[in-house]
A and B are shown apart, each in its own frame.
Chain A
Amino acid sequence: MSVMSRILAIDRRMIFLFIGLGTAVPLLWPVNLPITVTPRVEAAYQTIEALPEGSTVLIAMDFEPDTMAELLPMSIAVLRHCFRKNLKVIAITLYPAGPGLVEPALRIAATAEHKERNKDYTFLGYKSGFQTVMIGFGESIRQQYPVDFYQTPLDSIPIMKGVDSYAHIDLVINLTASSAADYWIQFAASRFHKALILGTTAVMATDYYPYLSSRQVLGLVGGMKGAAEYEKRMDLFGDARRGMDAQSLVHVIIALLVVLGNAALFVTTRKAP
């Protein structure tokens, strides 16, 4: 059996092993490869940076544990940026398993930036129905969420004073792993003309590039790479930056295997006749 035939017959479990080692080794012995901040992430950063102190930001963290690898570090970085800028943060989630992730993300970011619940941020919790909530925010936030996640009436929450619809919100940020982003574009950005920033999983990122060009979305943070860029811009060293060495090495391994596999197939099929 030739070398090329052996390459084609390699046990798939060997590939899993390479990928596993390619992931674990850089996490154990990081080299901290350089990360370049792309214009899309820079635009997201600058949009938040440009908000005056005390502005109100609505952050919808519409994701669940299956995509927390990408969106949780992103959420923490974006939340910390908002807190550093002394913005008032209203957090919600439109996913049933979201509260279990949003709550700790808020707590981690708030603790790191010395912020207090109800004074600097509030978490309204989960609400079912994408469109009804998004349209409802145009009418009255209190109708959608009479109480917050901790059952505190919204009127008793200091940062909610005078905030009851999109009219009182300066920026909407949607960190999502689903089509919720489409609806935020349709309703918050297009119908209610609110400035919108998106943070998406890498799988979805390319779908939303056209909205950057049309300025319906002012910034786009895509996947773990985007989160790592945001962390770098914030001068943080979180889970996303920590994972980028592994990301790069695994990509090299995959690219090599693709090239090797195709070359082996090309050579063996040419010899066959």
Chain B
Amino acid sequence: MSLVETWIAAFLTLCVFSFLYRDNPFYRFAEHLFVGAAAGYLLAVQYQNVILPNVWMPLTSGTRTPLSITLAVIPAILGLLMLARLWDRMAGPARWAIAFYVGVYSGIAVPGYLQAQIFAQLSDAVKPFEPGWGAINSALILLGLLTVLAYFFFSAPHRGVHGLGARVGIWFLMIAFGASFGYTVMARVSLLISRVQFLLRDWLHLIPTT
């Protein structure tokens, strides 16, 4: 980063951090600047990477065949139909594009999800226990699976053996939430560390460069 870029980045970082004291115009300036810049950047990138190569170029340059033109025009029309929801009279045709999208997305997602997230995980859950100490891990995974499933089975009252399993399931869930929350704290602290590293190293030159 050049000197000017570093100073701008440092100023904006401090503007955002100033919110920790209280809401103020500097924070709001940085916030609005970020929203505007991010929206503009996203629009420009999508135009360059999606509209230009997939719609504009096939229609205006290179070898144009009826097939290549059709493959550019039909998705473009479907895309425009998505925006047609803004007009009441066009709300009906707008659903065609959404229906097409939902159909294609479901076709792609459902088999992939079943294969990777359901069947592969089920197969792992019922595999034979690992030898030695690994058996304890396998037993815990199986116990966790069965008790958490028991907790989420609401078609029968949580009483007796089912109730006991559900209560153990809650413990497994709480431990999982705790681990996840610990990781979340670590992630947020990492973001702060990175910004402080930037301020102390790149801006103030108080710590050596990597």
Interfacial residues, chain A to chain B (CB-CB below 8 A): 13, 16, 19-20, 23-24, 27-28, 66-70, 96-97, 126-128, 131, 135, 182-183, 185-187, 189-191, 201-203, 205-207, 210, 213-216, 222-225, 237-239, 242-243, 246-247, 250-251, 254
Q: How far is the CA of A135 from the CA of B105 in the complex (A)?
A: 12
Cβ contact within 8 Å between A239 and B194 = yes
With contacts A28-B207, A214-B123 known, is A68 near B194, CB below 8 A? yes
Cα–Cα distance between A23 and B190 once the two chains are bound (Å): 10
Instruction: Identify which of residues 171-209 in chain B touch chain A, using a CB-to-CB cut-off of 8 Å.
Output: 176, 179-180, 183-187, 189-197, 200, 206-207
Write out the residue numbers on chain B whose beta carbons fall within 8 Å of the beta carbon of A183. Answer: 112
B21 within 8 A of A: yes
**B120 at interface, CB cutoff 8 A:** yes
Given A24-B200, A96-B42, A238-B210, also A202-B183 (CB < 8 A): yes
Q: Which residues of B pack against A, CB within 8 Å?
A: 20-21, 41-42, 45-46, 49-50, 105, 108-109, 112-113, 115-117, 120-121, 123-124, 141, 176, 179-180, 183-187, 189-197, 200, 206-207, 210
Q: How many A-B residue pairs have CB under 8 A?
A: 133
In the assembled complex, the CB of A257 is this many whole angstroms from the nearest CB of chain B, namely 12
Let me know if A206 and B179 touch, CB within 8 A.
yes
Chain A residues with CB under 8 A of B20 = 13, 16
Closest chain B CB from A152 CB (angstroms): 15
Shortest Cβ gap from B174 to chain A (Å): 13
Q: Which residues of B contact A250 (CB under 8 A)?
A: 189, 192-193
Nearest B residue to A127 by beta-carbon distance?
A: B49
A129's closest neighbor in chain B, by CB? B50
B41 near A186: Cβ-Cβ < 8 Å: no
Please determine whether A28 and B112 come into contact, CB atoms closer than 8 angstroms.
Answer: no
Contact check, A126 vs B49: say whether CB atoms are below 8 A apart: yes
Residue picked from A182, A202, A205, most chain B C-beta under 10 Å: A202
Contact A223 to B183, CB < 8 A, known contacts A70-B190, A202-B190:
yes
In-complex Cβ contact of A135 among B108, B115, B124, B191 (8 A): B108
Of the candidates B42, B49, B192, the one having the most CB atoms from chain A within 10 angstroms of its own CB is B192
Main secondary structure of the interface of A (DSSP, over half): helix
Q: Which residues of A contact B42 (CB under 8 A)?
A: 96
- Inter-chain CA distance A244–B141, complex, in Å, is 31
- By the criterion CB–CB under 8 Å, are B180 and A224 in contact? no
| A182 & B117 in contact (Cβ 8 Å cutoff) | yes
- In the complex, are the beta carbons of B124 and A202 less than 8 A apart? no
Q: What's the least CB distance linking A182 to chain B, in Å?
A: 7
Chain A residue numbers with a CB within 8 Å of B141 are: 213
CA distance A223 to B124 in the complex (A): 26
Q: Which of A185, A189, A205, A239 contacts B210 (CB 8 A)?
A: A239
Ranked 8 nearest A-B pairs via Cβ: A69-B194, A214-B124, A186-B112, A202-B187, A190-B116, A224-B190, A243-B193, A96-B45
Q: Please give 6 more A-B residue pairs, beta carbons under 8 A apart, in addition to A203-B187, A250-B193.
A: A23-B196, A67-B191, A70-B190, A210-B124, A214-B124, A250-B189
Q: Which residue of B is nearest A66, CB measured?
A: B191
Which of the residues A97, A135, A190, A254 comes within 8 Å of B41, measured between beta carbons?
A: A97
Partner of A131, one of B49, B108, B117, B192: B108
**Contact of B116 with A28 in the complex, beta carbons under 8 Å:** no
B196 contacts A246, CB within 8 Å? yes
A189 CA / B119 CA spacing, docked (Å): 14
Whether the Cβ atoms of A69 and B46 lie closer than 8 Å is no
